Amino acid sequence: MYLGIDIGGTNIRIGAFEKSNPSELKGVSNFEVSQDFNLAIKNIIAQIKKSTQGKKIYGIGVGAPGLINRKEGHIEKSANLPKWQKKPIGKILEKEFNTEVKVENDVAVAATGKALYGHGKSVSKFIYLIWGTGFGGAVVEKINGKLKITSIEPGHQILDWNGIDCACGQKGCLEPYIGGRATEKHYGKPLIKVNDEKT
């Protein structure tokens, strides 16, 4: 069994699947992300144990927001999860489950999935945009049978030098105008509500 963990700015989702058919999830759990890393990692471990029920885990892939240090397996910098920065996500999960863990940018992971199993299968180059708590993107190219994923940050392009403060430290970025947290603040409720039973 293999696991995919999607760490977002609002929610964490964990899916389990067999290597022979990665597009068929055996189970998905969804719960709110915590800015407290220690609490969050305990929740992730507990949910993994609940989902796998003692089955052998052959590998874990983690998609996380922000700039990722792949070698160390942690978030180097993230506007939405500042208290997660430099926390050893990969090493903690490797030790707990005695398996290989890869940590990558969440948009790059989603774009890879789209290129291999989604609408991107039939094209050689496309731009993938993801709109959630923040607003991110990636350029996907298929070169000589290999994927080249280049992360981009459309949410942190400055629209107004004197605009709204952004969590990244800049002013007037696109994200504080259209990101999930911004729209929830503007409309007084989340645009999308995730129901655990239907996910």
Q: Which of 69, 86, 105 is the last residue of a domain?
A: 105
Indicate the pairing of strand 101-105 with strand 59-64. parallel
pLDDT for the residue numbered 197: 40
Element (H or E) spanning 109, and its range?
Answer: helix 106-117
Confidence of residue 199 (pLDDT cuts 50, 70, 90): very low
Q: Are residues 93 and 8 in the same domain?
A: yes
CA-based nearest residue to 104, from 125, 74, 134, 128: 74
Helix (H, G, I), strand (E, B) or coil at 73: coil
Q: What is the mean pLDDT of residues 89-113?
A: 94
Element (H or E) spanning 15, and its range?
Answer: strand 11-18
Give strand pairing partners of 102.
61
pLDDT for the residue numbered 196: 42
Q: Are residues 135 and 98 in the same domain?
A: no
- State if pTM tops 0.85: no
Sheet holding 21-32, edge to edge: 21-32, 11-18, 2-7, 59-64, 101-105
pLDDT for the residue numbered 194: 46
For residue 148, the enclosing domain spans 108-198
Q: Which of 54, 71, 105 is the last residue of a domain?
A: 105
Q: Are residues 57 and 114 in the same domain?
A: no
pLDDT for the residue numbered 130: 86
Q: Which of 78, 105, 132 is the last residue of a domain?
A: 105
More confident call, 87 vs 78: 87
pLDDT for the residue numbered 192: 58
Task: Say which residues have a Cβ less than 8 Å from residue 70's Cβ, sequence separation at least 6.
Answer: 102, 103, 104
Q: Are residues 7 and 83 in the same domain?
A: yes
CB 143, CB 125: distance < 8 Å: no
Q: Are residues 165 and 79 in the same domain?
A: no
Element (H or E) spanning 33, and its range?
Answer: none
CATH for 40 = 3.30.420.40
Confidence of residue 193 (pLDDT cuts 50, 70, 90): low
